[in-house]
């Protein structure tokens, strides 16, 4: 039982670090309560707690003065600002390596991006890397990217341009090449306890009956036989990704060291990969369990002590009601992850684009709007992952559609098999047992650009560009930090070359992980090209967002009533400012009664669109705002 104060245990930080003392004392009760709630029964609970506190002190003492200064100067809600715009990219596929990235910063700044998510950089075995999410050394940069000194130089260059940095901590698992896994394979029982390892299939069989499969096509089941030690190890994702056993407090402290190591590299936002999976319990789905939330809260408290300027993003791509819990609940409301991905809205945007109907999206808003004040979404249209249609059947049924047929339509539409569909994507992780499947494909290909170019159909090319900008606009103004996905600012279509690489061919998510061709990117400067039109449009959307503080995430969004089912509309308000954002997801011209603008609040007599510059006189209830197919307005 952990019940002693660190001071009594001789933990008082050396020297006169008053700030650390203050934070430790302030956070100690929560630290102890959370730790005990998870580990109090563990035989090594007390000594490991002491190690945890020593770890917090050590990393605080090692934290560079410049980052400590930033911890002080950052406002607690720095990340809610309308001025932040992110991009997620693979360093090697974007520009080769870390050394070359500083020379590409001007390109990103020109676009308006000031926040970078660098996809996993730490050592990960080629051919068994899951895009870097199978880490064999959490503190060594993979040689294909460069080394730590290159990362530090890049960080400095970014800081000079006032850019923020986001990195991943792959918390749920390690590569089977990680030192811990190697030792476990060799029979070291201390490290075997770092994983879920069993002598036979009895317990694994029990787990398997209630745990869903994540990659059913390529990695069925949740356990893998390890011939070296004649044991079965839990591998929820790929067979080469061994799940860490967080019931062992030594695992928690070992991973905390990696988290604080990243904090001390100057990370502003830490993306916690796959947090829904970090606690396993036989007889459950082993996802979203209460202990997983307790662990995240404990991480948050630890970070508040040793690196208070670093925010946390929980990458929980789960059911809408579950996602919201990653912001914390009850006593820990807004005290867990600062950010989560608005994965529900992302998927619903694709739903609206295919069906031209906004009603399922609106039905899901009740849950999404529960996000606590002071926390924020990452809003996005595409990422390196697939699109999962994770919203509930009930929401689909609510608008009179058959959930099975509706999902089938979406899968057919985006994989291009639906007659007349302009989209070119593919189904990912189809599970014949459940009928589930997710969708791969780039923003541009799913919006029809790839097919339109193949058909040399100029009208369709223009339509697909309009759809791309509609999707981006909807996610940029919704509330939260927009996270662009590299290549989408120029309309990169699918890249099928992964099919020839045995380390990638089993995973069609690689079709939307482009290798950047800087000659193509240069076309972004010419507005007569497809690339130039998309780049200029994206840039303009970013500029509009940055100009208007109303787009900061102050929980200030209200949906307009759906007077026209093809049109999604919301109003963002801040002080006396109100901005109406109106999007036509239909393929026909849409008419929206001016009453929609008056229904919620007094609307001005005249509205001006930030996107086109057009001015509109607000008419009578029986008069309409006319919105072109896939058009949108940002009006105030």
Q: How far is CA 230 from CA 54, 190, 224, 278, in A?
A: 36, 16, 11, 24
Identify which of residues 318 and 453 has a Cβ nearer to ligand GLC in the complex.
Answer: 318
Lookup: tokens for 33: 């309560």
Contact string 159-198 vs ligand GLC (x = CB under 6 A): -----------x----------------------------
- Residue ranges in 290-319 that form contacts with ligand GLC under rule CB under 6 A: 315
Q: Which of 123, 315, 351, 507 is catalytic?
A: 315
- Region binding ligand GLC by CB under 6 A among candidate stretches 128-136, 342-350, 370-378, 422-430: 128-136
Closest distance to ligand GLC from the beta carbon of 175 (Å): 10
Cβ-contact 516, 94 below 8 angstroms: yes
In angstroms, how far apart are the furthest CA atoms of the chain? 78
CA 283 to chain centre: 28
- Region binding ligand GLC by CB under 6 A among candidate stretches 20-28, 73-81, 130-138, 140-148: 130-138
Identify which of residues 214 and 410 has a Cβ nearer to ligand GLC in the complex.
Answer: 214
Closest distance to ligand GLC from the beta carbon of 170 (Å): 6
Catalytic residue status for 315: yes
In whole angstroms, give the CA distance from residue 159 to residue 155.
Answer: 6
CA 607 to chain centre: 34
Identify which of residues 172 and 593 has a Cβ nearer to ligand GLC in the complex.
Answer: 172
Cβ-contact 531, 514 below 8 angstroms: no
Identify which of residues 207 and 237 has a Cβ nearer to ligand GLC in the complex.
Answer: 237
Q: How far is CA 91 from CA 95, 122, 516, in A?
A: 6, 12, 10
Cβ-contact 336, 300 below 8 angstroms: yes
Tell whether residue 385 is a contact of ligand GLC (CB under 6 A).
yes
- Region binding ligand GLC by CB under 6 A among candidate stretches 82-90, 125-133, 338-346, 616-624: 125-133
Identify which of residues 88 and 464 has a Cβ nearer to ligand GLC in the complex.
Answer: 88
Closest distance to ligand GLC from the beta carbon of 91 (Å): 16
Which DSSP string corresponds to 531-589?
Answer: HHHHHHHHHHHHHHHHH-GGGS-SS-EEEPP-SSTTEEEEEEEETTEEEEEEEE-SSS-
Rounded to 10 degrees, what is the CA torsion of 139, 143, 148, 149?
160
Closest distance to ligand GLC from the beta carbon of 485 (Å): 12
Size of site (CB under 6 A) for ligand GLC? 10
Closest distance to ligand GLC from the beta carbon of 384 (Å): 6
Identify which of residues 315 and 336 has a Cβ nearer to ligand GLC in the complex.
Answer: 315
Cβ-contact 172, 277 below 8 angstroms: yes
CA 327 to chain centre: 14
Q: Which of 49, 122, 237, 585 binds ligand GLC (CB under 6 A)?
A: 237
Identify which of residues 238 and 451 has a Cβ nearer to ligand GLC in the complex.
Answer: 238
Tell whether residue 326 is a contact of ligand GLC (CB under 6 A).
no
Closest CB to ligand GLC: residue number: 133
Q: How far is CA 292 from CA 212, 241, 288, 611, in A?
A: 17, 19, 6, 43
Q: How many CB atoms lie within 10 A of CB 539?
A: 16
Tell whether residue 121 is a contact of ligand GLC (CB under 6 A).
no
In whole angstroms, give the CA distance from residue 427 to residue 298.
Answer: 37
Q: Which of 71, 142, 273, 351 binds ligand GLC (CB under 6 A)?
A: 273
Lookup: tokens for 314: 């929980």
Of 88, 253, 113, 99, which Cα lies nearest the Cα of 168? 88
Q: Which of 49, 115, 133, 242 binds ligand GLC (CB under 6 A)?
A: 133
Identify which of residues 98 and 170 has a Cβ nearer to ligand GLC in the complex.
Answer: 170
CA 473 to chain centre: 18
Tell whether residue 130 is a contact of ligand GLC (CB under 6 A).
yes
Closest distance to ligand GLC from the beta carbon of 124 (Å): 10
φ, ψ dihedrals at 89, nearest 5°: -150, 155
Closest distance to ligand GLC from the beta carbon of 120 (Å): 9
Identify which of residues 128 and 412 has a Cβ nearer to ligand GLC in the complex.
Answer: 128
Q: Which of 60, 273, 553, 609 is catalytic?
A: 273
Q: How many CB atoms lie within 10 A of CB 400?
A: 7
Tell whether residue 485 is a contact of ligand GLC (CB under 6 A).
no
Cβ-contact 555, 371 below 8 angstroms: yes
Alpha-helical runs (H) found in 64-197: 65-73, 91-95, 105-111, 148-160, 179-185, 189-192
Q: Which of 255, 274, 590, 635 binds ligand GLC (CB under 6 A)?
A: 274
Catalytic residue status for 599: no
Closest distance to ligand GLC from the beta carbon of 88 (Å): 10
Closest distance to ligand GLC from the beta carbon of 624 (Å): 43
H or E element in which residue 22 lies:
helix 18-39
Contact string 341-380 vs ligand GLC (x = CB under 6 A): ----------------------------------------
Instruction: Summarize as ranges the residues that interact with ligand GLC (CB under 6 A).
Output: 130-131, 133, 170, 237, 273-274, 315, 384-385
Please list the active-site residues: 273, 315
């Amino acid at each position: 039982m952990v019940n002693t104060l660190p001071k009594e245990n001789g933990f008082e930080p050396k020297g006169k670090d008053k700030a650390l003392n203050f934070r430790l004392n302030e956070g100690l009760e929560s630290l102890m309560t959370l730790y005990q709630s998870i580990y109090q029964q563990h035989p090594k609970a007390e000594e490991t707690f002491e190690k945890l506190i020593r770890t917090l002190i050590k990393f605080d003492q090692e934290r560079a003065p410049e980052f400590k200064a930033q911890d002080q100067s950052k406002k607690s809600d720095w990340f809610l600002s309308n001025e932040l715009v992110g991009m997620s990219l693979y360093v090697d596929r974007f520009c080769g390596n870390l050394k070359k990235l500083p020379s590409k910063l001007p390109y990103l700044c020109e676009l308006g991006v000031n926040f970078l998510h660098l996809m996993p950089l730490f050592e990960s075995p080629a051919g068994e890397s899951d895009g870097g999410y199978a880490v064999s050394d959490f503190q060594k940069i993979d040689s294909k990217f460069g080394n730590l000194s290159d990362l530090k130089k890049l960080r400095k260059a970014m800081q000079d341009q006032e850019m923020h940095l986001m990195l991943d901590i792959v918390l749920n698992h390690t590569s089977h090449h990680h030192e811990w896994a190697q030792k476990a394979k060799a029979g070291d029982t201390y490290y075997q306890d770092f994983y879920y390892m069993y002598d036979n299939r009895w317990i694994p069989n029990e787990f398997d009956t209630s745990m869903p499969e994540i990659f059913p096509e390529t990695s069925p089941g949740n356990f893998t036989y390890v011939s070296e030690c004649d044991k079965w190890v839990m591998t929820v994702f790929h067979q080469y990704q061994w799940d860490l056993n967080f019931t062992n407090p030594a695992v928690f402290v070992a991973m905390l060291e990696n988290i604080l190591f990243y904090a001390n590299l100057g990370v502003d936002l830490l993306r916690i990969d796959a947090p829904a999976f970090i606690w396993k319990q036989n007889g459950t789905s082993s996802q979203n369990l209460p202990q997983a939330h307790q662990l995240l809260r404990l991480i948050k408290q630890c970070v508040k002590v040793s690196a208070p300027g670093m925010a946390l993003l929980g990458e929980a791509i789960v059911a809408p009601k579950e996602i919201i819990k990653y912001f914390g609940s009850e006593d820990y409301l807004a005290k867990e992850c600062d950010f989560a991905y608005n994965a529900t809205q992302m998927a619903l945007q694709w739903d609206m684009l295919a069906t031209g109907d906004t009603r399922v999206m609106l039905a899901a808003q009740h849950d999404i709007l529960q996000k606590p004040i002071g926390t924020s979404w990452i809003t996005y249209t595409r990422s390196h992952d697939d699109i999962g249609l994770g919203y509930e059947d009930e929401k689909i049924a609510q608008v009179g559609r058959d959930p099975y047929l509706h999902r089938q339509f979406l899968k057919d539409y985006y994989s291009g098999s639906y007659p007349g569909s302009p989209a070119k994507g593919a189904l990912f992780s189809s599970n014949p047992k459940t009928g589930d499947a997710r969708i791969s494909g780039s923003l541009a290909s799913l919006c029809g650009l790839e097919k339109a170019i193949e058909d040399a159909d100029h009208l369709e090319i223009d339509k697909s560009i309009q759809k791309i900008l509609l999707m981006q606009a909807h996610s940029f103004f919704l509330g939260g930090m927009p996270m662009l996905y590299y290549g989408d600012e120029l309309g990169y279509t699918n890249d099928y070359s992964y099919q020839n690489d045995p380390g990638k061919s089993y995973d069609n998510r690689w079709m939307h992980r482009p290798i950047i061709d800087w000659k193509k990117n240069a076309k972004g400067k010419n507005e007569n090209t497809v690339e130039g039109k998309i780049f200029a449009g994206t840039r303009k959307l970013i500029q509009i967002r940055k100009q208007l503080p109303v787009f900061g995430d102050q929980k200030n969004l209200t949906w307009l009533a759906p007077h026209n089912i093809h049109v999604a509309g919301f109003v963002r308000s801040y002080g006396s400012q109100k901005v109406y954002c109106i999007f036509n997801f239909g393929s026909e011209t849409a008419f929206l009664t001016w009453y929609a603008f008056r229904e919620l609040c007094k609307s001005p007599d005249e509205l001006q669109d930030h996107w086109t510059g057009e001015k509109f006189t607000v008419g009578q209830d029986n008069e309409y705002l006319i919105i072109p197919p896939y058009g949108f307005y940002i009006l105030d």
